[in-house]
Amino acid sequence: MDITTPQLLYHGTTSSTVDSFRQALLQSNYWRPGKDFGEGFYTTISIAQARRWAHKTAKESWDGGKPCVLVVELSSLPDDVEPLLFLSDSPAWASFVYAHRKADMKGQDPCRKHPDIIIGPMADNDTGKIVHKGVQLKKDENWFYEQITRNEKGRKLDALKLGNQVVFASERWEPHLTLVGYHIYAGGRWMYGDVRNAGDEGEIKLL
C-alpha cells in the first residue's frame, strides 16, 4: 500500500521533555498503555490540536514544565509499511479503541500483530469515563461505539470535529522522523525555537 504522508506533524508535551526528545523522538519505554491506539508516539497534523494536548499534559504534569508542541518532519517511510488507516469513526475504529483503552498494563496488547503506524480520529476527552463504565457493566464494542459518537444530548458527533492522530508504534520509524523545532507557551504567547539553528552549545534560540 502506498501512502503519502504529511511533511510536518505536531506532538503536545511539556518543555521539560525537549532535551530528551532531541536525543530520540521514539522512546518506547515511556509509552503508556490505555490510549486510543495503544502504546506509541502520538502526533497530529493540527497544531491547534497539539496545543490543546500540550496544555492538558502540562496541567497534569508534576514537573512544572510549560505547554510545548514539538514540530516533527516525516521525511521518508520505512520499507514494507502496512499502516492501519481509519478514514472516519466506524464500528471497527471503535472496537480498536475500546480494546486498547482497556489495556492497563505496559506490554499488554490485544492485537495479534500491532500495526507500527495507525492513522485515524481521536476519541473525545470523556472516553476514559465511558471505558470505565463499559468495563464495569460488561458492555461490548457496539455499546462503546454508540457512546463515543454521540454528545450528551444524543446527537451524532461530526467525525471531522473529533480531531486526528498519527501514531508511531515502533521505534523503527526513528530514522525517518526529525525534530525541527518546538513551540513553548510562556507569558501568554507561543514562542518558537528552531532546533536546526541551535547554537554551538546546543541551546535553542527562541524566535
Q: According to the model, what pLDDT value does residue 54 have?
A: 96
Confirm whether 206 is domain-assigned.
no
Q: According to the model, what pLDDT value does residue 196 have?
A: 75
Confirm whether 137 is domain-assigned.
yes
**Cell for 169?**
508504534
Mean pLDDT of 32-36: 93
> Within 10 Å of residue 35's Cβ, how many Cβ atoms?
20
Whole-number Å distance between alpha carbons of 33 and 31? 7
Q: Which domain holds residue 192?
A: 8-197
Whole-number Å distance between alpha carbons of 4 and 103? 31
Mean pLDDT of the chain: 87
Instruction: For residue 172, give the 3-state DSSP assignment.
Output: helix
Q: What are the backbone dihedrals phi and psi of residue 14, each rounded to the nearest 5 degrees, phi first?
A: -125, 160
Q: According to the model, what pLDDT value does residue 201 have?
A: 42
Confirm whether 110 is domain-assigned.
yes
Contact 192, 181 (CB under 8 A): yes
Number of domains present in the structure of the chain: 1
* pLDDT, tens digit, 9 for 90 and up, residues 91-121: 999 999 999 999 989 988 999 999 999 999 9
Beta bridge partners of 168: 41, 117
Confirm whether 2 is domain-assigned.
no
Q: According to the model, what pLDDT value does residue 148 have?
A: 86
Confirm whether 177 is domain-assigned.
yes
Confirm whether 18 is domain-assigned.
yes
Q: According to the model, what pLDDT value does residue 75 have?
A: 87
Confirm whether 3 is domain-assigned.
no
Confirm whether 69 is domain-assigned.
yes
Q: According to the model, what pLDDT value does residue 177 have?
A: 95
